[in-house]
Structure 1
């Protein structure tokens, strides 16, 4: 909305917005514009998207805007930064750096309601296209307006390229966090009209918290909690504003909110609250961290500090390079600290950090969302862990698909298959655009809405696949499981018990053939005859099941099977195995019985019996290995 307010001041040729508020109309009840959307490229406010009429504006509330009139900051990031331009003969002129000093900058920052000057440099925000101001300002630093300052003629009437002065003021000290034991934690208060007032909202609490932490220089947002008070005036932010005063405010009472910021560490230029370039606070400015000074244990502490899950990616240059300084210490965390500042540090061996080495970190999303009652972690009613307890999440009809998309993404459960409203009305209301990386980046309201049930595509867990051979013919080679040629084998598919029924498909990439069996006790065994070269290749189990009125499937990892020649014929191997069993049995019997004469005789008889039995086993094994013709020939020989 601040972009649109800037258009209003520019359209009126009145410089920058100084303040904006939303209040009751005190004039007549004229209908007006309720929605004004500008992209920033328009040359006139008439080119913005405007909607008029009684259906859009009830005449009760209007935005009240105060513009600076004869001074503006151009091409900056917000109300408190940009190229300094003053109004001269009904046109705007940039100011030369030689004609503008620190005391002049202090007056400009005060006029715009900003903090003290933080940066003053020629060419900092580009060159102006028009004329250059032909006077030199001589402010004392105490004036309330720049035009109240004395001026003198310039000694040189030219301003070299790159010298149009750019100014960055710090954000005003009109926001604070109280009652949290730190300047970076507590209830949000805003200094307005000579007093500190509680900030409240019913909707975009996370967006407000992000702006507050940014304005206070307090790092990343860790959490935001609504309060019980109803004395706060309403505020609405998009989350991109550099300060809270660029948000829209109303005088309607809203519950207050408590914000907790990370204070001394932040993640910059990431996709959400849990990813970005690691920066730490050093001498009241932010410094990037070199990859060589930051390891996995350090990352675990940062992720915990920001209320995120475990580290998922850690890499230099992952989220670009920082524009400021580089942290000059090496972190030596043990991984159990609750804050990065609690970790030990040591001096760096090398005081330089090569380009591309500013460390970027991606933490997994926190485990503060779950799906319950659906038989799977990827299906069920949505619950959100907040303020020490699990809350049911509810939504209006038009928000349900967006919320479901965020939930499935956060849980790593694929895409949304279906979303169904429930019957209960005790769910906290949530608004999502669908692009958020986690549910805590969405807006929330604590009025009740029907709960919703979400079904994600990765409903079924990944099945397992393994190969067995009762005769011990399987061994693991360098390329995976290997099977001796001529042996029978079994491939078994199994899955965790989630839902009854279903079926397994065993696919073989060496051909187009697929075998299918029903899942019995959540598994299926596929038997194969004597292995030959045609069985060599890649196998995969696919588990299918029909639940929640949809077909779902899940694939196992590949099992790569190699068929290899046995070092000895199969019947010889079996004979050797039997003989080894025989020798082990005789040795055990001999050592067990005492060597008395009678016992020796018994031992000899027993040993002979064992030998006869073993030879019979060998004979039976030989006949089993031989074909029918060979068996008859053997009988004839006997």
Structure 2
């Protein structure tokens, strides 16, 4: 018997930024044709990604990779999603000779790559899914720029280090770095090999994203819209930064920015967190805050930034307390002073009134008694 093998070369993705992305073209009768977005759906995209040896589709959008180039594929694809090649799918009998500008089918498939065994999904041994099985890539002298393609596809930034390490694996995959320059599909760049040395890649976005929070139990702090906080002037404010326990040590930098100023506050990470206290909040503390976590590992400095936290400082402390302190208390003190004044005045009048009355009475009594005595004395003298 004779084994008949047919290698598919019927679809391609052009002008994309990754190995499995670009504008879709279909080959028929030795001619490449663009596909109109209206004739292509998600089930069709699943077939294309599978045919190219890529992962499932992650983005399906027209005009993403330029306008359609003439000629245009004339029929609508009607795939069930299980086919192994796009040309195996049924198609409609309708004919299309042109495609509106910006309506060419664009497709991004996820790359069947991963980094395993590291501190995060952005570091570890490079593995590629080939023929339905995950296998490590043979360790070789890869330039950072070539390895950075994998970091890019994993949404992990750029590559900061590439190395080799021993492994118990024997059956590995060999990838030609030069293959990426042609933006070919990953399937075309991979071939089975045998080695005990595998490739280890560390990407720049190694760290998880830190979190930034304000304890909900703090007085004078209330939540506002869009993840913002409203803080009463004069109250205390604590902003806490934390991160998942990936590496020991490191430090947190709390960055504050407003319309006219910027400040940085730094503390060492203790139990993967740091707490920044502002004892008395003033209007100058109003602005945006974010946490930066920095750590030195693998002979490199890594950093990761949290989301922004918007803080608004009200013009006065808690309104009720402010009114009491600013209005009610002075009125109470004034009223107390008035009452005390009249009370003291009335008390003084009573004290002065009682001695005068007594003196008048005593004087009257004395005069009445003294009168006859004087008359009697005069009478004795005359005698």
Task: Please state whether the residue corresponding to 2:238 is helix, strand or coil.
Answer: strand
In structure 2, the CA distance between the partners of 1:298 and 1:506, relative to structure 1 (3 Å rule), is farther
1:184-234 per-residue CA deviation (whole Å, 9 max, x = no partner) reads xx4x6xxxxxxxxxxxxxxxxxxxxxxx533xxxx23xxxxxxxxxxxxxx
More helix by share: 2
1:457-492 per-residue CA deviation (whole Å, 9 max, x = no partner) reads 221122222334423632223684333333333222
Q: 1:529 is matched with which residue?
A: 279
1:279 deviates by: 3.8
Q: 1:431 is matched with which residue?
A: 176
In structure 2, the CA distance between the partners of 1:539 and 1:295, relative to structure 1 (3 Å rule), is farther
Q: 2:244 is matched with which residue?
A: 496
Which structure's CA Rg is the greater one? 2
In structure 2, the CA distance between the partners of 1:298 and 1:387, relative to structure 1 (3 Å rule), is closer
1:377 matched to 2:99: no
Give the number of equivalent residue pairs. Answer: 318
Q: How far apart, in 1, do the equivalents of 2:226 and 2:174 lie? A: 55
Determine if contact 2:164/2:197 at 8 Å carries over to the other structure. Answer: yes
Within the candidate set 414, 417, 432, 2:160 is matched to 417
In structure 2, the CA distance between the partners of 1:542 and 1:499, relative to structure 1 (3 Å rule), is same
1:309 deviates by: 3.5
Task: Please state whether the residue corresponding to 1:407 is helix, strand or coil.
Answer: helix
1:553 matched to 2:303: yes
Q: 2:232 is matched with which residue?
A: 484
Task: Please state whether the residue corresponding to 2:295 is helix, strand or coil.
Answer: strand
Structure 1 length-normalised TM: 0.43
Relative CO higher for 1 or 2, CA cutoff 8 Å, sep ≥ 6?
A: 2
Q: 2:321 is matched with which residue?
A: 571
Task: Please state whether the residue corresponding to 1:538 is helix, strand or coil.
Answer: strand
* Residues 329-478 of structure 1 aligned to structure 2 (within 5 Å): 329=76, 337-339=81-83, 353-366=99-112, 369-397=113-141, 399=142, 401=144, 404-424=147-167, 426=170, 427-433=172-178, 435=181, 440-448=187-195, 450-470=197-217, 471=219, 473-477=221-225
CA RMSD of aligned residues (A): 4.1
* Residues 83-94 of structure 1 aligned to structure 2 (within 5 Å): none
In structure 2, the CA distance between the partners of 1:270 and 1:407, relative to structure 1 (3 Å rule), is closer
1:157-181 per-residue CA deviation (whole Å, 9 max, x = no partner) reads xxxxxxxxxxxxxxxxxxxx955xx
Determine if contact 1:328/1:351 at 8 Å carries over to the other structure. Answer: no
* Residues 75-114 of structure 1 aligned to structure 2 (within 5 Å): none
Determine if contact 1:384/1:392 at 8 Å carries over to the other structure. Answer: yes
Task: Please state whether the residue corresponding to 1:321 is helix, strand or coil.
Answer: coil
Deviates more, 1:430-439 or 1:498-507: 430-439
In structure 2, the CA distance between the partners of 1:389 and 1:326, relative to structure 1 (3 Å rule), is closer
In structure 2, the CA distance between the partners of 1:295 and 1:519, relative to structure 1 (3 Å rule), is farther
Q: How far apart, in 2, do the equivalents of 1:325 and 1:349 lie? A: 10
Q: 1:71 is matched with which residue?
A: none
Task: Please state whether the residue corresponding to 1:534 is helix, strand or coil.
Answer: helix
Q: 1:90 is matched with which residue?
A: none
In structure 2, the CA distance between the partners of 1:345 and 1:376, relative to structure 1 (3 Å rule), is same
Q: How far apart, in 1, do the equivalents of 2:74 and 2:177 lie? A: 36
Unaligned runs of 5+ in 1: 1-176, 180-185, 189-211, 221-265, 576-621
Task: Please state whether the residue corresponding to 1:516 is helix, strand or coil.
Answer: strand
Determine if contact 1:288/1:327 at 8 Å carries over to the other structure. Answer: no
Determine if contact 1:290/1:316 at 8 Å carries over to the other structure. Answer: no
Determine if contact 1:273/1:441 at 8 Å carries over to the other structure. Answer: no
Task: Please state whether the residue corresponding to 2:284 is helix, strand or coil.
Answer: helix
